[in-house]
Amino acid sequence: MNRNSRRLSLTIEEQIAQSQLRGRVSVHDRENAEVSCISFHDYMAICLYDEKEGYYRSGDVRVGKKGDFYTSSAIGSIMGEKLASCAAELANCQKDSVVRFAEWGAGTGLLSEQMIAAWSSARHSWLSQVQHYIVDSNPVHLEAAQSRLELALADLDTIAAPRPQLHYVTPQEAKNVMNETTRSNGAASTARPYTIIIANELLDAFPVHRVVMKEGRLWELGVAVNVSDDEEVLRYVYTALTDERIAMVLHRDGIELLEGQITEVNLAAEQWITELGQLVEHGALLLVDYGHEVPEITASHRMHGTLLCYKDHMAHDRPFILPGEQDMTSHINFTACRHAAEQAGWQVQYYDTQKQFLLDQGLLQDLVAHDGTNPFSEAARRNRSIRQLLLSDNMSESFKVMVLVKGV
């Protein structure tokens, strides 16, 4: 455990000591045996988003070869090109609106670089008028994205290719921009901007509540200091539900847990979709994430939920080690996303597996004939990227693409 992890561990232990929430080591414990705890949601939020030591707020670049995980944009430029094509179809329909883009959770800007290159190559007439926002909460990521994209735009400038105007902002700054636009549209008759937001593997990074069915009662999993001789400093405890929306979401989505089964409830993802629905009057939201609908996400073989941690590109299920130094993620419940989106005024225009999305965007037509003598040629590398996206470990079927539209 490094210095940052030790400091964050102390912060977590202080939060637990000061918490009014109480949990039971066993569901059979009496109330007077309850211990101080925080919800797993709050623990995950501290680990990922603490302003000083949080995983996404501090440290080095977290994504790519030097980080702890890859996204689909790292497998060649294919995914970026197909998302660009989908976004361009939406933009091309907006004859009387100024189009603007935002990649939310943009990381080091690789996906935006791929999308901008695709739009520029297609010479879209609207591109030079576009405001493109790179949105990320990690200042190191924003710096890396700016360095990457300034080089890419300089290359476009040398060939007089169309390019957007880029802005590098935090999530709150992006919301402020959209809120100002919404208010100004309410006060004046100016043309509404058409806002297209791309979120590639963003929602699975939001903190989740973990719940379990134990002896016929629904409990939430809390986190307490471990007073046993085990090597881990923290442990799970059982506590009452900390948010009334948890039970409402489970009922709404038709989720009935088996005895002993754990699942995750991502209220933060629903809140994010809802908030964007309030800020965007006219636009689209492209979601790409690892997840399923309710029948699969709560199937009997998923007794322990879907939470995983990533460190140095290795996955494990021990969230209490290395706080602030490992990624935590859980699969997205797309049934919940659909319900939240529709309630917020979004319409589901498209939903399918990433594999089917790529096929629908003409991926097979991108396979390039070559003589096969040079496995390192651009054509050979591109063909390998296509095969990897379509065939590798069923990942392309576990990833889903959901396109939401508003103000149609």
Average pLDDT over residues 324-338: 95
Of 332, 244, 339, nearest to 289 by C-alpha is 332
pLDDT at 4: 77
| All domains of the chain in start order, with CATH | 62-208+261-408 (3.40.50.12710)
Token pair listed for 100: 């603007």
Query: Is 0.85 surpassed by the pTM of this model?
Result: yes
Token pair listed for 51: 């302003």
Whether 68 and 312 have beta carbons less than 8 Å apart is answered as yes
> How far is residue 121's CA from residue 141's CA, in Å, rounded to a whole number?
26
Q: For residue range 245-264, what is the model confidence (pLDDT) as tens digits?
A: 999 999 999 999 999 999 99
Of 88, 76, 144, nearest to 116 by C-alpha is 88
pLDDT at 373: 65
> How far is residue 116's CA from residue 81's CA, in Å, rounded to a whole number?
9
Whether 239 and 24 have beta carbons less than 8 Å apart is answered as yes
Strands 314-316 and 332-333: unpaired
pLDDT at 13: 95
Question: Considering the chain, what is the average pLDDT of its residues?
Answer: 89
Residue 197's identity, in one-letter code, is I
Whether 290 and 398 have beta carbons less than 8 Å apart is answered as yes
Q: For residue range 278-307, what is the model confidence (pLDDT) as tens digits?
A: 999 999 999 999 999 999 999 999 999 999
- The number of helices, as runs of H, and strands, as runs of E, in the chain is 13, 18
| 212 bridge partner residues | 219, 262
Token pair listed for 390: 């379509």
Q: For residue range 97-120, what is the model confidence (pLDDT) as tens digits?
A: 899 999 999 999 999 999 999 999
Token pair listed for 333: 């419940």
Question: What phi, psi does 54 have (nearest 5°)?
Answer: -65, 150
pLDDT at 389: 72
What number of residues does the chain have?
408
SS3 167: strand
Q: Which residues contact 382 (CB under 8 A, 6 or more apart)?
A: 76, 78, 366, 368
